[in-house]
Amino acid sequence: MDLVTVINPKPQNEFVETPYITSIAERGLRYIKKGFPIHLSGPTGCGKTTLALHIAYLLGRPVVLINGDEEFSTSSLVGSQSGYRKRKVVDRFVSRVYKSDESMTKTWLDDRLTTACKHGFTLIYNEFTRSRPEANNIFLGVLEERMLELPSASDDGNYIKVHPDFSAIFTSNPEEYAGVFRSQDALMDRMITLPMTHYDEETEIAITQAKAGVPRSVAKKIVTLVRKLRAADVCEFSPTIRASVAIARVYDEGDKDWFEQTCIDILSPKIGKGDKGDVDPAGIIRDLIAG
Ligand SMILES: Nc1ncnc2c1ncn2[C@@H]1O[C@H](COP(=O)(O)OP(=O)(O)OP(=O)(O)O)[C@@H](O)[C@H]1O
Ligand SMILES: [Mg+2]
């Protein structure tokens, strides 16, 4: 049995709103309300998925979430004619079943994209460039002509008209990331891309404080350290807000050695050992802590 999980968007726990976040969310919302799909693009940990969910919450429509995957084919997005199948649409998040049709019928099996297009839901297609570009061709017609092409065996005929309330929020990491495909220009051309970068310092402090429940002074100390490391140009991977939150979560007031140790554990892997193994991540981190 295939499930299409429909999320009823609600405010996210400990969601932090600062001028930077409000500004991107408002721009995104304005474009969507004028009928444009939006695309949040930026490095790992910059807040794309969180913001996509937030914009979806502001839109107030049920949400269908897809995570991009190399294994995806078009049939995993729109469904396939596969004989007698059970169909069920559940709402896992509010334990209220949105629609349930368990009758064993030989019908077109609605899958996620089809469900969202038909009912006018918000589709969040997270990390869409992890899917092969061919699998995403189906979006060309959905986004431009607002028609979803279905395999001919479907009961609905060859096309369904996309519901006027349907909207799409895409997220992606830049092309240089491992496991990411270059998207077709025609698809990119149909969306409005909002580039994101790591949050500004105030936003990072506010998120660290909120997610770890530490005083502002502690959040500030940690965020300053992580930002210094990010700026130092010694990292293989930029440390993200996730590192600040992790260090803050295990923080123990008064235990300086533990603080240093957790910073080394959490941040060293970002630095790497250098091409010749001659880099000393722990030393770099100790120096940064010492100021
Ligand atoms: N506005 C916010 N308020 C509270 N927490 C946030 C906010 N934005 C991001 N975060 C937190 O920061 C972390 C990174 O955010 P998120 O997962 O959205 O990033 P991402 O860009 O989707 O990363 P990835 O590319 O790795 O999927 C998460 O733990 C998230 O909960
Ligand atoms: Mg994400």
Last residue of a domain, one of 158, 173, 195: 195
Q: Report the separation in Å between the CA atom of 3 and the middle of ligand 1, taken as the mean of its atom positions.
A: 26
| Domain CATH number, residue 180 | 3.40.50.300
Q: Do 9 and 149 belong together in one domain?
A: yes
* Distant-in-sequence contacts of 66-69, Cβ < 8 A, 24+ apart: 66/112, 66/113, 66/123, 66/124, 66/125, 66/126, 66/128, 67/126, 67/127, 67/130, 68/125, 68/126, 68/127, 68/128, 68/129, 68/130, 68/131, 68/172, 69/130, 69/131
How many angstroms separate the CA atoms of 98 and 91, rounded? Answer: 6
Last residue of a domain, one of 172, 195, 218: 195
pLDDT band per the 50, 70, 90 thresholds, residue 186: very high
pLDDT at 101 over 80: no
Domain span at residue 240?
201-290
Q: Do 212 and 279 belong together in one domain?
A: yes
Segment 221-248 shows an average pLDDT of: 95
Q: Report the separation in Å between the CA atom of 199 and the middle of ligand 2, taken as the mean of its atom positions.
A: 14
| Mutation probe of ligand 1 site: the residue of 241, 244, 247, 249 with most atoms within 8 A of C-beta | 241
Report yes or no: 158 and 78 within 8 Å, Cβ to Cβ. no
Q: Which tens digits make up the pLDDT trace of 26-42?
A: 999 999 999 999 999 99
State which ligand 1 atom lies nearest to the alpha carbon of 53: 18
State which ligand 1 atom lies nearest to the alpha carbon of 46: 21
How many angstroms separate the CA atoms of 12 and 47, rounded? Answer: 13
Rounded to the nearest 5°, which phi and psi values hold at 204? -65, -40
pLDDT > 70 in the chain, percent: 84
Which pLDDT score is estimated for 202?
A: 95
Residue whose CA is at the smallest distance from ligand 1 atom 26: 44
Segment 95-119 shows an average pLDDT of: 56
Mean pLDDT of all residues belonging to the chain? 85
DSSP code per residue over 148-196: EE--TTSTT-SEEEPPTT-EEEEEE--TTSTT-PPPPHHHHTTSEEEE-
How many angstroms separate the CA atoms of 162 and 126, rounded? Answer: 20
How many angstroms separate the CA atoms of 255 and 128, rounded? Answer: 43
| Mutation probe of ligand 1 site: the residue of 58, 171, 207 with most atoms within 8 A of C-beta | 207
Q: Do 163 and 259 belong together in one domain?
A: no
Q: Which tens digits make up the pLDDT trace of 169-183?
A: 999 998 777 788 888
pLDDT at 209 over 90: yes
Residue labelled with tokens 């969180």: 50
pLDDT at 90 over 50: no
Query: pTM for this one?
Result: 0.86
How many angstroms separate the CA atoms of 242 and 229, rounded? Answer: 14
Q: Report the separation in Å between the CA atom of 3 and the middle of ligand 2, taken as the mean of its atom positions.
A: 22
Most confident of 144-153, 154-163, 227-236: 227-236
Residue 252 is which amino acid? D
Q: Report the separation in Å between the CA atom of 204 and the middle of ligand 1, taken as the mean of its atom positions.
A: 10
Closest-CA residue to 2 (of 84, 88, 116, 91): 88
Q: Do 99 and 134 belong together in one domain?
A: yes
| Mutation probe of ligand 1 site: the residue of 22, 49, 54, 57 with most atoms within 8 A of C-beta | 49
Q: Report the separation in Å between the CA atom of 239 and the middle of ligand 1, taken as the mean of its atom positions.
A: 13
pLDDT at 86 over 80: no
Q: Do 123 and 248 belong together in one domain?
A: no
Rounded to the nearest 5°, which phi and psi values hold at 123? -100, 125
Segment 252-273 shows an average pLDDT of: 94
pLDDT > 90 in the chain, percent: 61
Q: Report the separation in Å between the CA atom of 177 and the middle of ligand 1, taken as the mean of its atom positions.
A: 17
- Ligand closest to Cα of 241 equals 1
Last residue of a domain, one of 177, 195, 213: 195
Q: Report the separation in Å between the CA atom of 6 and the middle of ligand 2, taken as the mean of its atom positions.
A: 18
How many angstroms separate the CA atoms of 227 and 204, rounded? Answer: 9
Ligand 1 site, CB within 6 A: 14-16, 21, 44-50, 173, 207, 210-211, 241-242
Rounded to the nearest 5°, which phi and psi values hold at 187? -75, -45
pLDDT at 7 over 90: no
- Count of the separate structural domains present in the chain: 2
